[in-house]
Amino acid sequence: MRRAVVLLSGGLDSATTLSVAIHEGFDAHALSFHYGQRHDIEVTAAKRVAASLGASEHRIAAIDLRIFGGSALTDEIAVPTNCDTKKTSGIPITYVPARNTIFLSYALAWCEVLGAADIFIGVNAIDYSGYPDCRPAFIAAFEELANVATKAGVEGTRFQIHAPLISMSKSQIIRKGTELGVDFSLTRSCYDPVGDGLACGECDSCRLRLEGFRAAGFEDPISYATK
Amino acid sequence: MRRAVVLLSGGLDSATTLSVAIHEGFDAHALSFHYGQRHDIEVTAAKRVAASLGASEHRIAAIDLRIFGGSALTDEIAVPTNCDTKKTSGIPITYVPARNTIFLSYALAWCEVLGAADIFIGVNAIDYSGYPDCRPAFIAAFEELANVATKAGVEGTRFQIHAPLISMSKSQIIRKGTELGVDFSLTRSCYDPVGDGLACGECDSCRLRLEGFRAAGFEDPISYATK
């Protein structure tokens, strides 16, 4: 069985991505990050998702992106809701500088140790088109880099960065995940959970998720503080 | 003054690189990593070097590459000396998977927060030609990636990865650093220090350093356990 490293955040996109990798026959090694999020809920959700879908291993790398600051998700800036999310360039303030570059770099390191050539990442260029590191051009550039950056690449490995959701809408992702048997009740998407982890229902991520479930014609199995 | 992020390991190459950046007129923000090295001597040396050369800021990011294993520098494999350093592919076992990719990713994140477009890295393709992530093709690929990966890139910033030592021999680097006033007594290069931090004089890195000083016609100002 070919091994693959799958980036897993605990949200519904990465859960669906992990399920795609496993259904494509990969021996999936899930990788999550504890990166100074203000809430640990994502990592807890990632653990449940990895176990539920049958990842053969799940590692959590502790990295501290707070030392640089610069984002609503790692800094002390308020998480945006509704229309105040876009800056003039169209990039949300929840953008974390170079985050997916850092995540893929770690995945690449683990690939080399595992002897794997495949990395799965649940980026999506449709609903999150504001994030530069969720676009096909980014994925292609990282693939190029991986082949010249590594011992494995020099020795002939051709790395492939799989982004199976990149052209899908949120509702298509939800339909795909449902079809593959992903238990979305285990996933968490909220940027700003309330109390002991209840999704706020108001941040960008909650709104996108709720709209996705509505458009897909399914009920979101998680609970919200407001709905 | 234009800001730059300078990767600083505490060795003589990165010290010289920091000095080059400052002499080129950059406001230098030094970045070091605590990445599960078996010795903290590198980070201590990096602090002295940053202060001595006049970096305007020095941050140390704690990252744990040991969770993946796979290298003599992060794993429990013995550090090689002399002729046993090369594997069949010509890549030393001291190669740390994707290390420079990870380091540059962090530098890129900090650049975006600082509003900087320039990163300096002390890689060298001559004496360390065994490392894939020390080659010009790697530097070029990362530059391409940086421009598509970031908000700054989307908004028009053209990132430049400066590798001023990439075509220099160790003795040329030592001459260059000496000419710029780098105090090499503050730097540390040993892979396998003895006692409270004395350079072993026998590992690959010590041998390359000592040969470099000999070829440059200077005395290495640091002490060795054997010489």
A27 part of a folded domain? yes
DSSP state of B78: P
CA end-to-end distance (rounded Å), chain A: 43
Count other C-beta atoms under 10 Å from residue B179's C-beta: 11
Nearest to A160 by CA among A177, A178, A176, A145: A145
Q: pLDDT at residue A2 above 50?
A: yes
Average pLDDT over residues B24-35: 94
B190 part of a folded domain? yes
Q: Quick one: pLDDT at residue B88?
A: 43
Measured between alpha carbons, how far is A136 from B142 in angstroms, rounded to an integer?
16
Instruction: Give the helix ranges, DSSP H, for chain A.
Output: 12-23, 41-53, 99-114, 136-149, 151-154, 170-180, 204-216
Measured between alpha carbons, how far is B138 from B129 in angstroms, rounded to an integer?
12
Average pLDDT over residues A53-75: 83
Residues comprising chain A, all counted:
227
Residues of chain B found within 8 Å of residue A70, distances taken between Cβ atoms: 109, 112-113
**Contact (CB<8Å) A70/B112:** yes
A114 part of a folded domain? yes
Structure tokens at B46: 């990096």
A213 part of a folded domain? no
B193 part of a folded domain? yes
Nearest to A218 by CA among A186, A172, A180, A187: A172
Q: pLDDT at residue A76 above 60?
A: no
What are the Cα distances from residue A207, in Å, to A127, A165, A172, B153?
11, 19, 16, 28
Nearest to A72 by CA among A39, A34, A121: A39
Q: Quick one: pLDDT at residue B85?
A: 43
ipTM: 0.89
Q: pLDDT at residue B221 above 60?
A: yes
CATH number where B149 lies: 3.40.50.620
B224 part of a folded domain? no
**Contact (CB<8Å) A108/B89:** no
Q: What is the DSSP string of B81-104?
A: BGGGGB-TTS-BTTPPTTHHHHHH
Q: Quick one: pLDDT at residue B37?
A: 63
User: What's the domain count of chain A?
Assistant: 1
Considering only residues 168 to 197 of chain A, which have any Cβ-Cβ distance to chain B shorter than 8 Å?
none
Amino acid, res. B199: A
**Contact (CB<8Å) A98/B89:** no
Amino acid, res. A161: I
Cα within 13 Å of Cα(B2), Cβ side: 16
Measured between alpha carbons, how far is B116 from B23 in angstroms, rounded to an integer?
17
Sign of CA dihedral B55, B60, B65, B71: positive
Three-state DSSP class for residue A111: helix
Percent over 70 (pLDDT), chain A: 87
Measured between alpha carbons, how far is B144 from B3 in angstroms, rounded to an integer?
20
Q: Quick one: pLDDT at residue B84?
A: 41
Measured between alpha carbons, how far is B49 from A114 in angstroms, rounded to an integer?
36
- From A89-93, B50-54, B91-95, the region with the lowest mean pLDDT: A89-93
B136-149 helix and B99-114 helix, angle to the nearest 10 degrees? 40
Measured between alpha carbons, how far is B129 from B85 in angstroms, rounded to an integer?
13
Considering only residues 65 to 124 of chain A, which have any Cβ-Cβ distance to chain B shorter than 8 Å?
65, 67-70, 89, 91, 95-102, 105-106, 108-113
Q: pLDDT at residue A80 above 70?
A: no
Q: pLDDT at residue B77 above 60?
A: no
For A97, counting Cβ atoms within 10 Å of its Cβ (0-12 exposed, 13-18 middle, 19+ buried), the class is buried
Averaged pLDDT of chain A: 88
- In tens, the pLDDT along A28-41 reads 999 999 876 666 78
Confidence of residue A78 (pLDDT cuts 50, 70, 90): low
**Contact (CB<8Å) B135/A148:** yes
Measured between alpha carbons, how far is B161 from B143 in angstroms, rounded to an integer?
6
Q: pLDDT at residue B78 above 90?
A: no
User: In this structure, are strands B3-7 and B118-120 parallel, antiparallel, or unpaired?
Assistant: parallel
Percent over 90 (pLDDT), chain B: 65
Q: Quick one: pLDDT at residue A116?
A: 97
A99-114 helix and B99-114 helix, angle to the nearest 10 degrees? 170
Measured between alpha carbons, how far is B135 from A172 in angstroms, rounded to an integer?
42
pTM of the model: 0.91
Average pLDDT over residues B28-52: 88
Confidence of residue B81 (pLDDT cuts 50, 70, 90): low
Q: What is the DSSP string of A28-78?
A: EEEEEEE-S-S-SHHHHHHHHHHHHHT-SEEEEEEB-GGGT--STTTSSSP
Measured between alpha carbons, how far is B3 from B31 in angstroms, rounded to an integer?
13
Structure tokens at B114: 């600082």
Averaged pLDDT of chain B: 88
Q: Between these two residues, B3 and A91, which has the higher pLDDT value? A: B3
Structure tokens at B134: 């020390």
- Whether residue A62 contacts residue B34, with contact meaning beta carbons closer than 8 Å, is answered with no
Measured between alpha carbons, how far is A136 from B172 in angstroms, rounded to an integer?
42
Q: Quick one: pLDDT at residue A36?
A: 66
B227 part of a folded domain? no
Average pLDDT over residues B44-56: 97
Measured between alpha carbons, how far is A14 from B153 in angstroms, rounded to an integer?
26
B212 part of a folded domain? yes
Q: Quick one: pLDDT at residue A110?
A: 94
Residues of chain B found within 8 Å of residue A101, distances taken between Cβ atoms: 105, 108-109, 145-146, 149-150
**Contact (CB<8Å) B145/A150:** no
Task: Show the domain range for A26.
Answer: 3-189
Chain-centroid distance of CA A98 in Å reads: 14
B137 touches A at CB < 8 Å: yes
Q: pLDDT at residue B62 above 60?
A: yes
Average pLDDT over residues A182-187: 97
Q: pLDDT at residue B42 above 50?
A: yes
The closest CB to that of B149, out of A101, A148, A154, belongs to: A101
